[in-house]
Amino acid sequence: MTMAASVFCSGDVARAAALYAEGLDMAVALDLPHVRSSALVGLGAVAAALEEPAVGARLMGAAEASNAVRGAPMYLSDRPVFERGLATMRAALGETGFDGECAAGRTVDLRTIVAEALAVAAVARG
């Protein structure tokens, strides 16, 4: 996911989305929750970049919930992606709106959140 983060931070949202989607598919197939969380953070930031901040906040909330259950911190390479997405989402939704969508993401089942994340990737890739 480090490459996807680098690509996202360089401004190539479509390529980053493709890399994050590939990582998410792999993480789900191999049951790798840490990689899944990383991909959700990335696709959350992609959603924010595509002017879908509510979707982005839900994806970020799901990633945070997954990390919390495992007692695992966010990957360091995800931090700049998270911060960029977070700033965009909070500006668009406000604190209350962001917090509400993020909380909703914490309760969404895995199948639904993965489908939502992959839909973001599909839109980004055109």
Q: What is the pLDDT of residues 30-74, one digit of tens each?
A: 999 999 999 999 999 999 999 999 999 999 999 999 999 888 888
74 neighbors 37 (Cβ within 8 angstroms)? yes
104 neighbors 58 (Cβ within 8 angstroms)? yes
What does DSSP assign to residue 78? G
pTM for this model (two decimals): 0.95
Check pLDDT > 90 for residue 85: yes
1 neighbors 34 (Cβ within 8 angstroms)? no
Q: Which two tokens stand for residue 23?
A: 């990582």
What count of other Cβ atoms lies within 10 Å of the Cβ of residue 5? Answer: 24
Residue 51: which region, alpha, beta or left (left: phi > 0; alpha: psi -120 to 50)? left
Dist CA 81 CA 43 (whole Å): 9
